[in-house]
Structure 1
Amino acid sequence: MKGEAMDWYLSVLKQYAVFTGRSGRKEFWNFFLVNMVFLLIITIIEGLLGIRGTIGALYSLLVLMPAMGVCIRRLHDTGRSGFWIFLFLIPLLGGLVLLYLMAGRGEPGANLYGPVPYGHHL
């Protein structure tokens, strides 16, 4: 169980630019959790080295495509088009709406975007 979050994180990275199909809440939130931990560690290291933002910006660029992919697949799981991801362009409100959508249950059966993903019920 200890390495499960990291397994989900690596699973998302392996699907680097996959924008089709569905991702369950477990996959999305474990990726989100590990990503935030990495960013926290990077921020601490940058603070100690006095190079604020450099490593963090590079890391963020490296995980941008996988993060967009898992977000779009998560939206698909809720029966929504991946274009809903553009809500993040609306300051504050858009991010809150996306957070709400990502936290909700996915559709219980197969939908337009594919079959129920593994870990869907969690």
Structure 2
Amino acid sequence: MFTLFCLFFSLFAIALDNVFEIAIANIGFGPLYILYVLAVFLPSLSATVRRLHDVGKSGWTLLILFIPIVGALWVFIQLVKNGIMEENQYGPCPKSPSVN
């Protein structure tokens, strides 16, 4: 849901940049989108690390994104696969029925 929220509001910010005609030429976005990206950077980084913890990976494995193409593909696969249903070194599974 967080990613969907970010996608929706980033598209909205880009649309506002273009409606108010403050978008940078040949780029398609402007200052509203840039401010939004800066505001959401740390929360999205935190959500991504939490998701990696759900699948049993360290947050440091996010640095694999520096490997072109293969790194992004590997991180994407880790983010979309099901998490570990039992407790791991990062804490209990948030989907587990015993966590409430």
- Contact 2:86–2:96 (8 Å) recurs in 1: no
- Structure 2, unmatched stretches of 5+, are 24-29
Task: Report how far residue 74 of structure 1 moved.
Answer: 0.5
What count of residue pairs does the alignment treat as equivalent?
Answer: 91
Query: Which of 69, 78, 81 is equivalent to 2:55?
Result: 78
- Structure 1, unmatched stretches of 5+, are 1-29
**CA distance in structure 1 between the aligned counterparts of 2:43 and 2:77, rounded to whole angstroms:** 20
Q: What's the counterpart of residue 47 of structure 1?
A: 18
**CA distance in structure 2 between the aligned counterparts of 1:119 and 1:88, rounded to whole angstroms:** 29
Matched, 1:37 2:8: yes
2:68 partner letter: P
Identity of aligned residues (%): 32
**CA distance in structure 2 between the aligned counterparts of 1:94 and 1:81, rounded to whole angstroms:** 15
After the TM superposition, which segments of 4 or more aligned residues of structure 1 sit over 4 Å from their partners?
A: none
**CA distance in structure 2 between the aligned counterparts of 1:47 and 1:92, rounded to whole angstroms:** 30
Higher relative CO (Cα under 8 Å, sequence separation at least 6) belongs to 1
Matched, 1:107 2:84: yes
Please report the TM-score for the alignment, with normalisation by the length of structure 2. 0.83
Query: Which of the pair has more CA radius of gyration?
Result: 2
Please report the TM-score for the alignment, with normalisation by the length of structure 1. 0.69
Matched, 1:95 2:77: no
1:69 partner letter: S
